[in-house]
Amino acid sequence: MPLLASADTARANRRRGSAADGVTFWHTLYLGTSRYNMKPGEADPTPDALFPMAFLVEQDPGSTANAHYHQQDQFQLVVGGHGTLGLHEIRPVTVHFTAAHTAYGPIRASKDDGVWYFTLRNGFDPGARFMTMPENRAALRTIAGRMHREAVVGPLPPATAPTETLIERASDGMGAWRYTLPAGACVTGPDPAEGRGQYWVVTSGGLTQGGETLPKLSCVFVYPTDAPFEAVAGAEGVEVIAMQFPLRTH
């Protein structure tokens, strides 16, 4: 069944963090685990396991996260502040997808309010491999069958339709959609069996699910074996971004 993570509940997990390249930020865990909250000696989940991992990063104003890559596919969703990702301007709402072992960045946060983004994965990742480190560049070259795969959509203009395709669904299921609904309205998402898990993130208003109201900056993970997710708008209506991972090809 889907995993629900309310922004109100996740707020208790907010803590300071810093990466190997020195970039500093606030880190709020929503689902799964990360190296910032794992207990000493705790074993990593296996890389090929389906393991939802979601957290919000509030990157400090004026800071830069150097170009890097991860061992897992991931979506990032920009929900606050502004900055640049590589050559792209990023501000709410921007959707970013990178396949495993695809280098991207740097992420430069604005000097006034920084930049906030969800990092959303369907498998465990031990942390960024920064391209400033020769050993990481060398390791990347040894990965057989590696392909650079990246998509950036946004910043999005105001919605013009209840349902919008942001990233056209690929043959392996990867895609992203925006749903904008008035109070009480319902929409059924794509069949999760076509991909390897979905995240739904509330970017405005609230979502009602199983008697629980999920406010802005809440998220849901839908497993591939779940029924298509039904999003019901709360009393203020809702804007929600749905992102589906590709079937595993690596």
Q: Where does the pLDDT of residue 135 fall: very low under 50, low under 70, confident under 90, or very high at 90 and above?
A: confident
Residues 203 and 109 grouped into a single domain: no
**Cβ atoms 69, 128 nearer than 8 A:** yes
Q: Where does the pLDDT of residue 139 fall: very low under 50, low under 70, confident under 90, or very high at 90 and above?
A: confident
Residues 169 and 140 grouped into a single domain: no
Residues 121 and 176 grouped into a single domain: no
* Per-residue pLDDT reduced to its tens digit, 165-188: 999 999 999 999 999 999 999 999
| Strand pairing report for 53-59 and 115-121 | antiparallel
* pLDDT value of residue 132: 82
Mean pLDDT of all residues in 27-41: 79
More confident residue, 136 or 96: 96
pTM of this prediction exceeds 0.85: yes
Tell me how far apart the alpha carbons of residues 145 and 193 are, in angstroms, rounded to a whole number.
25
pLDDT of 36 above 70: no
* pLDDT value of residue 209: 86
Residue 21 identity? D
Tell me how far apart the alpha carbons of residues 200 and 2 are, in angstroms, rounded to a whole number.
10
Tell me how far apart the alpha carbons of residues 243 and 130 are, in angstroms, rounded to a whole number.
25
* pLDDT value of residue 12: 95
Residue 3 falls inside a structural domain: no
Here the CATH number for the domain that contains residue 61 is 2.60.120.10
Tell me how far apart the alpha carbons of residues 151 and 175 are, in angstroms, rounded to a whole number.
10
* pLDDT value of residue 249: 56
Mean pLDDT of all residues in 120-136: 88
Residues 149 and 168 grouped into a single domain: no
Residues 171 and 240 grouped into a single domain: yes
* Per-residue pLDDT reduced to its tens digit, 201-230: 999 999 998 788 999 999 999 999 999 999
Tell me how far apart the alpha carbons of residues 226 and 209 are, in angstroms, rounded to a whole number.
14
* pLDDT value of residue 37: 65
pLDDT of 38 above 70: no
What tokens does 122 get? 């369907």
pLDDT of 117 above 60: yes
- In angstroms and rounded to an integer, the radius of gyration of the C-alpha atoms of the chain is 17
Q: Provide the residue range defining the domain that includes 202.
A: 163-244
* pLDDT value of residue 76: 98
Residues 103 and 207 grouped into a single domain: no
Q: Phi and psi at residue 138, in whole multiples of 5°?
A: -65, -40
Residue 250 falls inside a structural domain: no
Q: How far is CA 229 from CA 55, 110, 128, 167, in A?
A: 21, 35, 31, 18
Could you give the residue ranges of the DSSP H alpha helices within 108-230?
Answer: 134-141
- The average confidence (pLDDT) of the chain is 92
* pLDDT value of residue 90: 97
Residues 149 and 167 grouped into a single domain: no
* pLDDT value of residue 35: 65
